[in-house]
Chain A
């Protein structure tokens, strides 16, 4: 089985994976990450999302082999020096989780969106989540959290 060198959250990790093995299983099964999760395996729900070169991708469908020499960011590495990312802080403050299983997808999409566009409008935020699913029905609190994070991040950058 080939070994791939992946840049995950700023560190180079070696992972043994099948040539067709999607990144999700390399991350969860081999590297024991807990952020990206299996939800559908069909790139429909967003629960497995990681950022590749800043773009949210569905790790359940992207082969590990295609991701060498790219920068992968995960929920596991989002906090820096013990400080949660402003999006995570907003999710805690707004209590934006029920079962929390899908939170990874919403947070990673929010991070990608707000780091690129800290002044995203409410409509841009809503549009940004058109393909992220939450079954518990936490969308109300989640969008509120993303807006709170936006307000903080846009002030910080100004």
Chain B
């Protein structure tokens, strides 16, 4: 397998054909011993749910996920076009519309292609089989005597005898059933009699196709949720307390009487205003006088006490959810015994700050409740689950709620995207008019669900030969999901908790995959109690690569520390303990791009120290090694990533240009989280309320050189490309800072001030 290194220009200007190997792999989830879940919406068992041939021969594919801004619809269209033998531009993909698509789980875990494309692939293959059989009858030949080219079925030996898909079925239904695996969500799959193509036959999959939505987005044509303005619309804004957890004791409606049409609303601890125009709603939200209850220090000791709090807290749960990689049985005794007899023992704690999704636009939702019928427009990542949740919240059957996913601000996990739609639903029901709820910038950071802060504690032993005798990994942090990654029930959103839906009692954190084979290896996690139980601005939820960045910061930093203690280069030390050839290849490839094993880049000149470091992540069905060469300004502490090399193996690459875009995004967001992002808060409230108090990367952070190496493996299943690389940035950068300066930073983000302080002590 030769890695292909393709620069940006090549991607943009050409369709890069990639080598195609053998053998596909079908996925069908477990189908036995499970009750069949009830389906709301189009039945997954109907081929017509998935694929429609229009009268003009174009194809509609109904996809039960959405797009997080990476153009996944392009890749889905490639897969459908491939199986149907039509050109890519003939396929239109509808995204996240509960009227049209079954619940495929929404945007989740980089599963868009690796799981999400499979039912459409199988359905498209079945549709082609049926169309060819139909054509065989019409043309009076056997199906085996027919070929298909761009939706035209013809007799292979006599191409003038043909019939098109449009003529065969255009505008009509297939009325055929598929076998469904009885799964709802990411694992949903269906199968017909047809077998999808072998990757060796691919003509469309593997080539680069551009996105169609970008032109609409850059020419002010695309409709985002924010643009939805039905007739008779009310604009809404929420009113939040200055002390977290405070309850409204008195709301003075007369304080907004001077704003024409403005009205206040209170239910439980949820306070909002509605008005006839957006500006009037904003003014009313500022003017409304609310007397709040007193709450004493709801957020512990604030950010300065976060890590003490974690260290001292009695855990709420430990390694208890096998579904998230936890093992119920783990035993630290062999590890501790091995460490106690080791020649050298190393220990280090790594600290990870709370981070926010901080979408470029805060939550927005438009809801029209008419009697018991509900229409929702939202840029949620999980429209089908939002449907179920809002139905529960309003007390109507899920069948009566329709959610139309709209383009919106980028989301990156269980962001605030589900919040405003719930609030708009409540207000629309109350006022009997469509309501558009728009969160403020402050709410979008301060009240967004957070990625949990954590401490990763590592220990390792080395014997006299510098072999690893034991390896200890413990993550202790805030719960990974105070609210679930779907809005499937009101307790998972702020307004739900504010109106009496009690927070669930489920806990998870994470542990790293076993990339390295160490003797006496133990890993586990513990979660600590939240500062504030209900409706907290510090409630946690999945943020892109949930709890992977935290755990890998510990694991991938510490392995460098142990390597140095063992007198080995960190890359060589990793390779010594790795077995998976795909992991080995990405590590070697990324390291070679930095000059390993020959060239040492470490140098110091004046106030600038330069060095490089690497980190590995295997997950989401993919492999990524990220190597960063950094410049550290020894006076200011500022870190600039001078060069980043990523070796990336996501199995079969469907749309290389899409993978490139996903990786470029992960570079910038990854170094944003590694270098800048931390939620500031005091004992009363979150004080990160805007872009000055919650810093993200900007153009000054763009690396000097971006070097992406794609390892295409058409013979392997599609892996996810939205998360594996971003995980690596904090550790890769911290390792590079050590290489450059000899100083180990064990906390992210590596903000300049703390780096400066560390360099001076």
Contacts and interface: CB of A to CB of B under 8 A. Distances in A.
B279 A143 contact: no
Contact of A133 (B235, B408, B691): B691
Given A94-B12, A99-B408, A144-B8, A139 B218 contact: no
A88 interface: yes
B219 A130 contact: no
B227 interface: yes
Given A98-B70, A126-B699, A140 B668 contact: yes
Nearest to A133: B691
A113 interface: no
Interface string B688-724: 0011100011111110001000000000000000000
A139 B408 CA distance: 18
Nearest to B436: A29
A42 interface: yes
A83 to B, nearest CB: 11
B657 A99 contact: no
B459 interface: no
B218 A97 contact: yes
Interface in B211-228: 211, 213-215, 217-224, 226-227
A107 interface: yes
Interface in B62-118: 68-71
Interface in A67-108: 74-76, 78-79, 84, 88, 91-104, 107
B699 A143 contact: yes
Interface string B32-75: 00000000000000000000000000000000000011110000
A34 B229 CA distance: 12
B726 to A, nearest CB: 9
B349 interface: no
A93 B12 contact: yes
Contacts of A78: 219-220
Main secondary structure of the interface of A (DSSP, over half): loop
Nearest to A16: B277
Interface residues of B, number: 62
A54 interface: no
B572 interface: no
Interface in B461-478: none
A135 B409 contact: yes
A36 B126 CA distance: 45
B361 A37 contact: yes
Most chain B CB neighbours (cut-off 10 Å) among A76, A126, A134, A135: A135
Nearest to B661: A95
B360 A102 contact: yes
Given A21-B279, A101-B360, A32 B229 contact: yes
Nearest to B213: A100
A51 interface: no
Contacts of B283: 18, 20
A7 interface: no
A39 B445 CA distance: 12
Nearest to A88: B218
Contacts of B358: 135
A47 B364 CA distance: 15
Contacts of A102: 360
Contacts of B361: 37-39, 47, 101
A17 interface: yes
B277 A100 contact: no
Given A32-B229, A101-B360, A130-B699, A135 B410 contact: yes
Contacts of A143: 699, 702
B218 A39 contact: no
A141 B211 CA distance: 14
A126 B298 CA distance: 42
Contacts of A133: 360, 691, 696, 698
Interface string B429-444: 0000000001011000
A113 B278 CA distance: 31
B669 A136 contact: yes
Contacts of A126: 699-700, 702
Contact of A40 (B68, B226, B277, B691): B691
A126 B702 CA distance: 10
Interface residues of A, number: 59
A74 B666 CA distance: 30
A30 B227 CA distance: 11
A138 to B, nearest CB: 6
A22 B282 CA distance: 11
Contact of B441 (A33, A39, A91, A138): A39
Nearest to A75: B220
Interface string B665-692: 1111110100000000000000000111
A104 to B, nearest CB: 7
B399 interface: no
Contact of B278 (A28, A99, A138): A28
Contact of A137 (B8, B214, B667, B691): B667
A45 interface: yes
A20 B279 CA distance: 9
A141 B9 CA distance: 11
Given A99-B407, A107-B218, A133-B360, A42 B668 contact: no
A137 B700 CA distance: 12
Interface in A23-65: 25, 28-30, 32-35, 37-42, 44-45, 47
Nearest to A60: B441
B643 interface: no
6 closest A-B pairs by CB:
A137-B668, A100-B217, A98-B69, A99-B69, A99-B410, A35-B220
Given A38-B438, A44-B691, 16 more contacts: A30-B277, A37-B226, A39-B409, A40-B441, A41-B282, A44-B690, A78-B219, A79-B219, A99-B409, A100-B214, A126-B702, A135-B409, A136-B669, A137-B666, A139-B668, A139-B701
26 contacts: A18-B280, A21-B279, A22-B279, A29-B277, A35-B220, A37-B361, A39-B409, A40-B690, A42-B690, A47-B360, A84-B219, A92-B210, A95-B661, A98-B410, A98-B661, A98-B665, A99-B408, A126-B699, A129-B698, A129-B699, A130-B698, A130-B699, A130-B700, A136-B665, A139-B698, A143-B702
